[in-house]
Amino acid sequence: MAVDTFGDPAFPSQTGIVIESARDGSVLYSRNAAMSLTPASVEKFVIAATALHDLGLSYRFTTRVVTDAAPQTGAIAGSVWLVGSGDPELTSHDLRVAVNAIRDQGVLKITGDVVADGSLFGSDNVDPTWEADDLEYGYAAPTSAVTLDGGTAQFTITPDPAGGAADVRVDPTNLVGPILGDVRTVSADGENTLRIDPLPGTDSFHVSGDIPNGAPQKYWRSLAHPEASAANALRTMFQSDGIDVGGVARVGAAPAAATALWSKQSRPLSAIIRRMLFDSDNHIAEQLVRVVGAHVAGIGTLSNGIAREHAFLAGIDAPQDGVALKDASGLSASDRITPRALAAVLRRLATDASGPAIQNLLPRVGVEGTVRVRDLAPDALGRVLGKDGYIGGVSSLAGYVLTKHHGVVIYVFIVNNWDGSLDSIWRAEDDLLAKISTM
């Protein structure tokens, strides 16, 4: 295939492009295929492929509530532990189900503590290469083997039509500490100066500033200590549901010989990865890299997970010169990958008979997911599958084109250090994808 429009002046010098056959890897076009570039969220393909290879598409996470003292005459004369395995989709609702199930067993009292066990990953942590200014936001939530609601709390701020203090509500309420301060309501054309600041060393927040009168607004903030938050939430739920707790909420490892009170299995891994790629969910990616690390090394540290990703790349003969993985989500500006290496990952996903079909894994560009905003020609809609990525100075798009006559074609676009508007870059990419779809 001869394509001369890849030289479009919309692409800056730090642009890497690979177009190749998914079947045999034959290269149809490349530009700077070996250039080391910041990938942004298309890096999620690496953890998707690694996790599917290591764990299998049917893998499910198991979360348990256990005790060191079996219930007798309506009481547990000991403590209970919430034991996590890294489920990135565990929710507060799941804990409410657990509490109801334990109450239905006749338990009305727990004499000991309520403990969260996230020891599979070690202590709560965030990637050290992430920007400090990102850490308070939901997209940069800390990881833990026990984390609820994506490690975030949702703030709903409702202005007061009378001009008084806005109503501040947090969901789920059990995951956060006291909310201090207040937010003033100003006129509808006033400036929004709202601040939601975490209080250091706690999961409490201070709210301040002004919000214009109008519809309620929603904001998401990360929880600095997800393991401790989960323990507090579970203890509060026990108390609210009529189960008296004599001890405190804390963090610690469960005893090896414990009695199960409740357990829950997650959705299959393939469904979780699909959500990650459709929604560009950083939390899922960061949980998964620690899970694969635990799978091979016994503990899910970030370094163990990244080492496993590099081993996977070596196993599929992806060239690693110029590859430096600092996280799994692509949020880090220190991540580096080459278009050639990413194309090898995409080829593995497309040709692995034991994995999910790519049509069930990725959104259709211009139709759904985060890539729905792309503007493809009508004939190309439904034929282009992809994942995009954006951080400061980076725009990326990668995936597959289901061509009319020549099977599945892999494409990788990684653009770094662009200036001006992204519109011209996106327009050039969308036009090229539409042309490829007609092959």
- Please report, for the domain that includes residue 107, its CATH number: 3.50.80.20
Shared domain check, 209 and 99: no
- Cα angle at 120 between 223 and 54, to 5 degrees? 110
Maximum CA extent, the chain: 79
* Same domain membership, residue 257 and residue 112: yes
**pLDDT averaged per 10 residues in sequence order, the chain, 439 residues:** 55 93 93 97 98 97 96 95 98 96 97 97 83 88 94 93 93 83 95 92 90 94 91 95 96 95 98 98 97 97 97 97 97 97 97 90 97 94 96 95 92 91 90 91
| Distance (Å, whole) CA 300 – CA 148 | 18
What is the span of the domain harbouring residue 81?
62-124+227-265
- Are 79 and 259 spatial neighbours (Cβ–Cβ below 8 Å)? no
Distances (CA, A) of 300 to 267, 290, 304: 20, 4, 6
- In this structure, the answer to whether residues 180 and 298 fall within a common structural domain is no
Q: 281 and 389: one domain?
A: yes
Question: Total structural domains in the chain?
Answer: 3
Report the CATH number that the domain containing residue 397 is assigned in CATH.
3.40.710.10
pLDDT value for 124: 64
Domain-located, residue 421 = yes
Q: What is the pLDDT of residue 8?
A: 63
SS3 69: coil
Q: Please report the pLDDT score of residue 2 as a whole number.
A: 42
In a domain, 141, yes or no: no
CA distance linking residue 223 with residue 140, whole number of Å: 10
Direct distance between the N- and C-terminal alpha carbons of the chain, in angstroms, rounded to an integer: 9
Q: Are residues 393 and 329 in the same domain?
A: yes
The pLDDT of residue 7 is 56
Query: 328 and 405 in one domain?
Result: yes
Whether residue 295 sits in one domain with residue 158 = no
Q: What's the chain's Rg over C-alpha atoms? A: 24
